[in-house]
Each structure stands twice: as structure tokens, then as C-alpha cells.
Amino acid sequence: GNSVTQMEGPVTLSEEAFLTINCTYTATGYPSLFWYVQYPGEGLQLLLKATKADDKGSNKGFEATYRKETTSFHLEKGSVQVSDSAVYFCALTPNTNAGKSTFGDGTTLTVKP
């Protein structure tokens, strides 16, 4: 079956530091890939996505590139802010069945001033 493996947390950074959260996946075919973010007490919300190989998703200074050759979708941000503190989830949806999404376990990011 499909699987998503995320870098284990928690991750603690100082403000303006560079962020990388690793994500690798196992799936047949060409799934769509997503990063979702969850703030305390809320549901998940889409951060960015990519639907085919070599696509780059970007939003709010975050970026991730769909790498088919390494089955990866690592999340990066050049300069984090305190407001970026949240839990980040990598996920995939098969192109053959939108109902069967798979999520990683989540990575908790804390940014200190």
C-alpha cells in the first residue's frame, strides 16, 4: 500500500533560521503530493501541493518540489517566523482514487524569537 514518511520531530528553530522538513513516499503511479499545516486547536489546512513530477508548490514563503526520482517532497522555508509554529503534515492522494489519501505522522515545528 501507499505510505508517507516524515522527518521526526519536534523541530525547534530560532526566528529567521532555514527550515527543512523531509518527506518521502511510497506509491504506485503518479500521486498528487501535499503539505498541510495545523495550528493549535484547528483542523488541517492546505499549505501547498504539486500534482506531477518536477512541479514546485509554493505558498507563504514555503516551497516543495515533487521529485519522482527520489520519491520525495521536502518542505523548505528560507526564514521562519514565530507564527510558523505549527504541526506540518505531508500527504499523498493517488491519481486513481481521490478517496484513499495517506498522511504522514506530522512534524511539530516551534520557532523561538
Partner 1 sequence: DAGITQSPRHKVTETGTPVTLRCHQTENHRYMYWYRQDPGHGLRLIHYSYGVKDTDKGEVSDGYSVSRSKTEDFLLTLESATSSQTSVYFCAISDQTDTQYFGPGTRLTVL
Q: Which is nearer to partner 1, 1 or 113 (CB)?
A: 1
The span of 21-29, 35-43, 58-66, 70-78 binding partner 1 (CB under 8 A) equals 35-43
Q: Which is nearer to partner 1, 43 or 113 (CB)?
A: 43
Element (H, E) at 36: strand 32-38
Q: What is the 3-state secondary structure (H, E, C) of 48-85?
A: EEECCCCCEEEECCEEEECECCCCECCEEECCCCHHHC
Site for partner 1 in 69-108 (CB under 8 A): 89, 91, 93, 98-106
**Nearest approach, Cβ of 69 to partner 1 (angstroms)?**
22
C-alpha cell at 61: 514563503
Q: Which residues lie across from 36 on neighbouring strands? A: 46, 89
| Site for partner 1, rule CB under 8 A | 32, 34, 36, 42-46, 49, 51, 89, 91, 93, 98-106
